[in-house]
Structure 1
Amino acid sequence: MDLESIPGVGEKTARALEALDEPERALRRGDVATIATAPGITQGRAARIARGAIRQEHDDPGGFLATDRAREVYREVLGLLKERTVTDYAAQRLETIYPSPRRSRIEDVQAFAREAIDRDYDDAVLEALEGLEPLRNPGDVRVRERCLATTDAERYSEAKEAIPELSVEIVEDAQGLAELARGYSTVIALDESFAGVTLEGDVQVKPGALENPAEVVPERPLSFFARNRDRLQAAVEVHQAAALEPACDLAALEDGLSRLDEDGTVAGDDELDRLTTAVDDLDAAASAAESVANDRLREAIREQDVTIEGSDLLSLVERGAGVDSLLSRELADEYAAAVEAAREHLIDALDLDQGESEIARRAFSDEPAFPVERDEAVVSRLREELTAAKERRAGRLKRELAADLADQREGARQLVRDALELDVELAIARFAREYECTMPEFVESEARGASEDDGAATESDDPVGFAIEGGQSPLLDEPLEAIDPVDYAVSDVALLSGVNSGGKTSTLDLVAGVVVLAHMGLPVPAERVRLRRFDDLHYHAKTQGTLDAGAFESTVREFADLAQGGEGSLVLVDELESITEPGASAKIIAGILEALSENGATAVFVSHLAGEIREMADYDVTVDGIEAVGLVDGELEVNRSPVKDHLARSTPELIVEKLADEARDDAVATNGGAPDGEGDPEPVFYDRLLEKFD
């Protein structure tokens, strides 16, 4: 796949995508999470790139949504799906599902949707999804306590490239290694010539280190798990709650994660915790030990009666002796006890082992002095020993943990991808169940099926535009139980008539919503739907007021283009007559219908001028009607399913009919129940008006 040929992908973005492990696979699958890990690419941009790649893969020209209202319908149904997602990822991933005229694309999504609508879910699954997020890149890893050493300049360059996480040093001989060992906790010599050399400190000779970087820098694989620890744990919880088949050993992954902190350090090891605490608390513990010794000495001095004869005092002064000599002579035992207390406090506070304790004891001298002070050189030596022991312990534990998790990385990635995709599937499943959806059936004419390379879902000689049974528009702001099911089928070009507020626009919205969802490859809100695969959808909403000359000209031009090349189009138009004067509108609409019919398009025009248009058309225009049953307490009772080949009565006709019936009833009552009120002037007037509707 040529990345730069994808719409919206330039040279810079292509380079970013090439940084992914399998960019083509991610693009073909619409894997927004993986694409978004490329440098500088957000989730929203990843969705747009994926959509462009999918269009390219299926040779999809785009432009299925040919009008503003068509695009609005798509955004509305997409919004309903996105409302049922839990993660941001799933909402962005749904952006890659768009209405397409291509059979291959529709069938790809249909296969995904069929599995999705069979998914079971409960509150526990949805709660588990709340903690889920796409994986993050671990970022740059830098280890400062370890270094690589070599005598060869070429080897030096190879090491810098292979293991950038560590410093690489050039040394001339073993003495150079020894000097490095004083500055680093661990030195790894890359030259075989250093084998057998014994040096103080942690110096390891590993000539093959560059071939196995993870052994030298276990932080590299561990950083992935550390940075994504909570996200991986959330994915585990999703799999457990939803009973998904995991892509890796969940128990092993959980065990590994439990031994790893978010900062990449190994957790749960008592010895490492002891050493870490000792290093962190050393200065504070040494200061506290000083205080212990000095407090004990002060107390001893306060309680001790010290008598010095003049000759003794003179002798001490002549020798230049000070308080130290006095302490040595008069308080030797008390000083020794105070120093011992300081040593024990330091050892106990840091929980030092035997070897560490020997160093710690030297931090306080046996030579009397007041105040008692620690030997900073000894404390520094103790710090170095503790730090080196900590790093050795941490390094070994990291290597062991990295080895345990090494085989889990790709499985862990798939674990998160599967959990995120589950949210996408459940959004579709929730939508399908809440709106009682079914998968639509695509039916193509034999001629079209034979002429197109991508074939047809089902070939048929029967002309089919769309046929909806029991459809309930998801675009209505009403609960499902309050929406009357609608049956409606159109195979060519039809006028849709009906009373005001009878549901004509809602019927167009239902048709548009069903067609959009079907071409997205998703379930539709109906008991059954059969339709042809349309090339594009032209939905013209009702115009507010009469258009000026320029806008009128533009609208007519648009329909002229449809008349020339709209064979595979679905055209939905709501009250086009509002664009100009009623008389002219009827003539224009009649001409448009003639052209669309000749061209083989499928169209539904909602109009209050259905009768006039039918009279002006030069062929037998199909007129369907949403029939009002009558008026009850001033409210229309309507059969929401359009009646085929039926010009529906208008609201004014129903009102006049109601007035005529009431007038007759009043006349009968006035004449004592005799049915001779027909000659009364009021009923005669209403009857005359009714005759005008015939």
Structure 2
Amino acid sequence: MEFETIPGVGEKTAAALSELDNAEEALRDGDVAALSNAPGITVGRAAAIARGAIRREHDDPGGFLATDRATELYRDALELVQSRTVTNYANRRLETLFPTGSASRIEEVRAFARDALEHEPDPEVLDALSGVEPLSEPPTVRVRERCIATADAERYADAKSTFPELSIEVVEDARGIAELARSYSTVVVLDETFAGIDVAGDVRVLPDAADRIDELVPERLLNFFAENRETLQAAAAVHDAANLDPACDTDALEDALSRLSDDGTIVGDDELTRLTNAVSDLDAAVSTAESVANDRLRDVIRERDVTIEGTDFLSLVEQGARVDSLLGRELEDEFDGALAAAREHFVESLGLVGSEAAFAEQIFPENPSFPLEHDEAAVGRLRTELKAGRDRRAAKLKAELASDLQTLRDPVETLVGDALELDVKLAVSRFARDFDCVFPEFTGAAGEGEPGSFAIEGGRSPLLDVPFEDVDPVDYDVAGVTLLSGVNSGGKTSTLDLVGLIVVLAHMGLPVPADSVTLSRFSELHYYAKSQGTLDAGAFESTLRDFANLTDGAADRLVLVDELESITEPGASAKIIAGILEELAEQGAAAVFVSHLAGGIREASDVSVAVDGIEAVGLENGELVVNRSPVKDHLARSTPELIVEKLAGENDTTFYSRLLEKF
């Protein structure tokens, strides 16, 4: 894949992506977590790259979110879904969902979302997901008992990169290999010219060593599984709780993991445990065995009926007098018993067997002395044998376990990936369930013969600062250009937000919070939020330029504008808005302009402009009672008019009645 063909990817980013083993797959799947493992690529940058790859695939030029407010609505919509994820992966993965005018992309996500809704969120599944995260590669661990040997400089360089865990040694001849064999438990020779070499030790001539990494360095695979133990177990639990078919035998996986410690060493093998403990406890066992013999001899000497007082005799002996010179043959049997006790304790405490146990006679020789002393050289020889036995046993078990795990290496990637993708689906499912969502129906691309349109039934916005169940449903449909009027605080802006939110979600391919929705497929969403106060001359000019560009654009856009009249004086505003609406109507575009000047705008316009109204039906205890669904072809009454009407009905004075006639 030519990474630089992805929108927004330059030479430097393409080089970083090329260092990933699975960049093409990650781009195809929108795997933000995997892409962010490329050097120098942040999570945010990875999401942007994934979106660029998706746009390229679906021939999407981008730019659907044409204004800041449209982008804010998208972020709000995305947050509604992201807040229902459990894993960081799913949160990042959802960043690849974005609104688009591409029919193929919308349908691709809709298919994904339909599948997502088949998954019912289960507390047990969500709890298991909390332990799942993308698999990680463990740090390189040095293996000191094995080495790679070669006489070739090029092979040496390749081996350095292929086997970072091992020492790579340069040799010239068989003598060099023999020297290495005395220092390492295993020597792997890469040069075929050394085949048939006859040297002591475990020396293997393997020209194809690079193809046998798991065999020669099983620690790499074992450390991977040890590093990811909790994630693998959590992913298996997710599949079990969700009744999903796992990509591997989870019982076999759990069995293999039970034989592996957190630091990648083998556990659960009695023989390896015995040898490991023997090496660790060797010095302590020697010291304790000496104490056993010496304590026994002290007791015997104290109790012995001799001319020299026992305590004096003990003092002489401890000063270096030989036992045989002081007592001749009198204590020989006692010494033999103490020596036998020392040897027996030593062998039993370390669990020595076979030739290992025979070392007890060398470590504690038959030369009567007090205190009893050991032979340190013999201890060293035993230590060497125990270590060699331990390392051989460990290597054998590591190789066996690595062989078992090797068949699971690729399947566990799928196991974890499926669990993480389930979290993405469950987030969509939870969103749809929490907000009673349905899939909208697209009627075709806007601007194809008919003006763009939308029709919402029972729409409820989850962005309002009230519990969702308390939100009043809204019915609203628009075709072409429309003015939306209504009382202050009657819900005009929230209606506009609802329309924008539903349009964004629909063009993301997601279900929307409504009973039903039909709409055109738009290429861009232009949403202009309410201006904060009258603009100065420069800002006013800039705003007019924006709208000039807007009216010069394509007909398949949706334009939402909230109280544009606030940019300047009301009289001028009505004329400006009328001019903009005329241009949009001529295009056949779809637009909703919220305005308190609907009557004046309609009078100033040279084309017929539809006016809808959010009607307040009255006042109760000083509060407006509002019908939140806009009434078609209706200019809504203002709040002042309602107040005057209320006062006219409550008082006999003619002032209020005459004032009411002014409206």
Q: Same fold (TM over 0.5)?
A: yes
Stretch of structure 1 that moved more, 195-204 or 39-48:
195-204
Summarize deviations over 1:498-531 as a string: whole Å, max 9, x none.
1111111110110111011111111111111111
Identity within the alignment, %: 66
* Alignment counterpart, residue 477 of structure 1, candidates 465, 469, 472: 465
1:297 shift after superposition: 3.3
For the pair 1:333 / 2:333, whether they are aligned, the reply is: yes
Take 2:13 and 2:303, find their aligned partners in 1: how far apart are those partners? 81
For the pair 1:573 / 2:543, whether they are aligned, the reply is: no
Take 1:396 and 1:503, find their aligned partners in 2: how far apart are those partners? 74
Give the match for residue 279 of structure 1: 279
Take 2:19 and 2:282, find their aligned partners in 1: how far apart are those partners? 45
Q: Is the 8 A contact 1:121 1:242 kept in 2?
A: no
Aligned-partner SS, 1:336: helix
When residues 191 and 613 of structure 1 are mapped into structure 2, their CA distance, relative to the original with a 3 A threshold, is closer
Take 2:533 and 2:170, find their aligned partners in 1: how far apart are those partners? 83
Q: Is the 8 A contact 1:563 1:595 kept in 2?
A: yes
Give the match for residue 541 of structure 2: 553
1:326 shift after superposition: 4.1
Give the match for residue 419 of structure 2: 419
> Counterparts of 1:595-610 in structure 2 under 5 Å?
595-610=583-598
Letter of the 2:558 counterpart:
L
Q: Is the 8 A contact 2:618 2:624 kept in 1?
A: yes
* Alignment counterpart, residue 632 of structure 2, candidates 634, 644, 653: 644
Stretch of structure 1 that moved more, 112-121 or 280-289:
280-289
Take 1:240 and 1:520, find their aligned partners in 2: how far apart are those partners? 31
Letter of the 1:242 counterpart:
A
Give the match for residue 81 of structure 1: 81
Aligned-partner SS, 1:532: strand
Take 1:59 and 1:445, find their aligned partners in 2: how far apart are those partners? 16
For the pair 1:517 / 2:505, whether they are aligned, the reply is: yes
Aligned-partner SS, 2:408: helix
Summarize deviations over 1:627-656 as a string: whole Å, max 9, x none.
112222322221111111110111111111
Aligned-partner SS, 1:653: helix
Take 2:54 and 2:500, find their aligned partners in 1: how far apart are those partners? 23
Take 1:259 and 1:447, find their aligned partners in 2: how far apart are those partners? 65
Q: Is the 8 A contact 1:58 1:102 kept in 2?
A: yes
1:428 shift after superposition: 0.5
Letter of the 2:640 counterpart:
P
> Counterparts of 1:21-60 in structure 2 under 5 Å?
21-60=21-60
Take 1:580 and 1:322, find their aligned partners in 2: how far apart are those partners? 116
1:4 shift after superposition: 3.1
C-alpha RMSD of the superposition: 2.7
Take 1:489 and 1:327, find their aligned partners in 2: how far apart are those partners? 118
Summarize deviations over 1:440-461 as a string: whole Å, max 9, x none.
122225974xxxxxxxxxxxx6
Summarize deviations over 1:136-191 as a string: whole Å, max 9, x none.
02332432111234566666566555444333445566554443332112233556
When residues 207 and 64 of structure 1 are mapped into structure 2, their CA distance, relative to the original with a 3 A threshold, is closer
Q: Is the 8 A contact 2:149 2:170 kept in 1?
A: yes
Please give the TM-score of this superposition, normalised by the length of structure 2. Answer: 0.92
> Counterparts of 1:194-209 in structure 2 under 5 Å?
200-204=200-204, 206=206, 208-209=208-209
Give the match for residue 453 of structure 1: none
1:559 shift after superposition: 0.8
When residues 546 and 487 of structure 1 are mapped into structure 2, their CA distance, relative to the original with a 3 A threshold, is same
> Counterparts of 1:239-388 in structure 2 under 5 Å?
239-307=239-307, 322-323=321-322, 325-326=324-325, 329=328, 331-388=331-388
Aligned-partner SS, 1:631: strand
Summarize deviations over 1:377-417 as a string: whole Å, max 9, x none.
22222222111111111111122112212222111101111
Take 1:502 and 1:519, find their aligned partners in 2: how far apart are those partners? 28
Take 2:506 and 2:634, find their aligned partners in 1: how far apart are those partners? 28
For the pair 1:623 / 2:603, whether they are aligned, the reply is: no
Letter of the 1:692 counterpart:
K
Take 2:300 and 2:8, find their aligned partners in 1: how far apart are those partners? 83
1:601 shift after superposition: 2.1
> Counterparts of 1:669-680 in structure 2 under 5 Å?
none
Q: Is the 8 A contact 2:451 2:589 kept in 1?
A: no
Q: Is the 8 A contact 1:566 1:600 kept in 2?
A: no
When residues 432 and 210 of structure 1 are mapped into structure 2, their CA distance, relative to the original with a 3 A threshold, is closer
Take 1:593 and 1:197, find their aligned partners in 2: how far apart are those partners? 92
1:351 shift after superposition: 1.5
Take 2:637 and 2:461, find their aligned partners in 1: how far apart are those partners? 24
Q: Is the 8 A contact 1:435 1:525 kept in 2?
A: yes
When residues 397 and 567 of structure 1 are mapped into structure 2, their CA distance, relative to the original with a 3 A threshold, is same
For the pair 1:688 / 2:658, whether they are aligned, the reply is: yes
1:113 shift after superposition: 0.9
Take 1:16 and 1:361, find their aligned partners in 2: how far apart are those partners? 64
Q: Is the 8 A contact 1:495 1:610 kept in 2?
A: yes
Letter of the 1:439 counterpart:
F
* Alignment counterpart, residue 468 of structure 1, candidates 456, 468, 475: 456
Letter of the 1:4 counterpart:
E
> Counterparts of 1:398-413 in structure 2 under 5 Å?
398-413=398-413
Give the match for residue 126 of structure 1: 126
Q: Is the 8 A contact 2:191 2:205 kept in 1?
A: yes
Letter of the 1:33 counterpart:
A
1:375 shift after superposition: 2.3
Letter of the 1:303 counterpart:
E
Stretch of structure 1 that moved more, 591-600 or 42-51:
42-51
Give the match for residue 527 of structure 2: 539
Give the match for residue 143 of structure 1: 143
Summarize deviations over 1:346-397 as a string: whole Å, max 9, x none.
2222212222111244222222334333322222222221111111111111
1:473 shift after superposition: 0.7
> Counterparts of 1:160-239 in structure 2 under 5 Å?
160=160, 162-171=162-171, 176-190=176-190, 200-204=200-204, 206=206, 208-239=208-239
When residues 447 and 360 of structure 1 are mapped into structure 2, their CA distance, relative to the original with a 3 A threshold, is same
Take 1:113 and 1:58, find their aligned partners in 2: how far apart are those partners? 18
When residues 474 and 364 of structure 1 are mapped into structure 2, their CA distance, relative to the original with a 3 A threshold, is same
Take 2:61 and 2:191, find their aligned partners in 1: how far apart are those partners? 60
Q: Is the 8 A contact 1:148 1:169 kept in 2?
A: yes
1:124 shift after superposition: 0.3
Take 2:222 and 2:199, find their aligned partners in 1: how far apart are those partners? 30
Q: Is the 8 A contact 2:186 2:203 kept in 1?
A: yes
1:596 shift after superposition: 1.6
When residues 66 and 232 of structure 1 are mapped into structure 2, their CA distance, relative to the original with a 3 A threshold, is same
Summarize deviations over 1:314-334 as a string: whole Å, max 9, x none.
xx99xx984465478354333
Take 1:114 and 1:540, find their aligned partners in 2: how far apart are those partners? 32
When residues 637 and 396 of structure 1 are mapped into structure 2, their CA distance, relative to the original with a 3 A threshold, is same
Q: Is the 8 A contact 1:64 1:535 kept in 2?
A: yes
1:341 shift after superposition: 2.6
* Alignment counterpart, residue 493 of structure 2, candidates 505, 513, 527: 505
Take 2:267 and 2:320, find their aligned partners in 1: how far apart are those partners? 54
Take 2:387 and 2:365, find their aligned partners in 1: how far apart are those partners? 23
Letter of the 1:131 counterpart:
G
The number of aligned residues is 656
When residues 180 and 130 of structure 1 are mapped into structure 2, their CA distance, relative to the original with a 3 A threshold, is same
When residues 39 and 370 of structure 1 are mapped into structure 2, their CA distance, relative to the original with a 3 A threshold, is farther
Aligned-partner SS, 2:188: strand
For the pair 1:496 / 2:466, whether they are aligned, the reply is: no
Summarize deviations over 1:210-244 as a string: whole Å, max 9, x none.
44232222223333222212111111111111111
Q: Is the 8 A contact 1:327 1:368 kept in 2?
A: no
Summarize deviations over 1:280-337 as a string: whole Å, max 9, x none.
222232233333333333333433455479xxx9xx99xx984465478354333333
Letter of the 2:345 counterpart:
H
Take 1:281 and 1:369, find their aligned partners in 2: how far apart are those partners? 25
Q: Is the 8 A contact 1:443 1:464 kept in 2?
A: no
Take 2:338 and 2:22, find their aligned partners in 1: how far apart are those partners? 68
Please give the TM-score of this superposition, normalised by the length of structure 1. Answer: 0.88
Give the match for residue 68 of structure 2: 68
